[in-house]
Structure 1
């Protein structure tokens, strides 16, 4: 069993898509084992996305991610990282497969509704960024 971090980004929260997004992950057999709503500060967004520091989109991304509340959640299941990324679809909704969250719900490449860890290693780092062990179901 793997665990991965997924976030519903400000556009998804603001458009009342929380239940829709969670439902898609649960229907695919993933279990929510940690969940919280928070509003990232610009500094927290910069720390979370530090891997992208120096890239042309970094400031826009961190400004957007600190513009409103997000839902951070830990999903658990077999091949959770790959399964989550498949359900989310490509970063650019124009390239996302039909039926994926981003193809169906994203507004743009920047406002693409969800974030998901891209590897088990990054999942562990990202989960620890938002959750202590006591906040996760065993």
Structure 2
């Protein structure tokens, strides 16, 4: 069974709500390994690279604003099928549609300013994981 690596970001709302430990606990309880972890303040350059396919969308500036509301915890985690499994653990991108028991279903929310604060991000495939890890962990 091959080990995959993925990037997981605990977004500013997850950090502000004190959900770093809960998120990491869920990863570790599932038997996955943390390979790297750091607290970062997202730069404009990182966000433009990370969300390059959205940069020309009208809502990109809202994403940028949201991701710069506070620190982010960036994690490289690994294990068999972690990309698909962590996606299921995270739940639907829209927390109002995410199942209870998922990170987004339990803790995410839509807010009065129209920004969806959904606690976490994770890579959606192996190739994106490699690209995203380079953005958030250029030193590795």
Indicate the residue corresponding to 1:92 in structure 2. Answer: 94
Shift of 1:98: 1.7
Indicate the residue corresponding to 1:128 in structure 2. Answer: 134
Indicate the residue corresponding to 2:116 in structure 1. Answer: 110
Shift of 1:133: 6.5
- Does the Cα contact within 8 Å between 1:45 and 1:66 map onto a contact in 2? no
Indicate the residue corresponding to 1:55 in structure 2. Answer: 57
Indicate the residue corresponding to 2:125 in structure 1. Answer: 119
- Superposed CA RMSD in Å reads 1.4
- Does the Cα contact within 8 Å between 1:39 and 1:70 map onto a contact in 2? yes
- Go from structure 1 to structure 2 and tell me whether the alpha carbon gap of 1:133 and 1:40 turns closer, same or farther (over 3 Å shift): closer
Indicate the residue corresponding to 1:21 in structure 2. Answer: 23
Q: Looking at secondary structure, tell me which structure has more strand per residue.
A: 2
Indicate the residue corresponding to 1:12 in structure 2. Answer: 14
Relative to the length of structure 2, the TM-score reads 0.89
Write out the 4+ residue segments of structure 1 that deviate beyond 3 Å after TM superposition: none
CA distance, structure 1, for counterparts of residue 68 and residue 74 of structure 2: 13
CA distance, structure 1, for counterparts of residue 137 and residue 44 of structure 2: 19
Deviation string 1:26-76 (CA, Å, 9 cap, x unpaired) is 111211111000111233322221121112321100111112100000110
**Secondary structure of 1:40's aligned partner:** coil
Relative to the length of structure 1, the TM-score reads 0.91
CA distance, structure 1, for counterparts of residue 89 and residue 18 of structure 2: 19
Tell me, which stretches of 5 or more residues in structure 1 are unaligned? none
Tell me, which stretches of 5 or more residues in structure 2 are unaligned? none
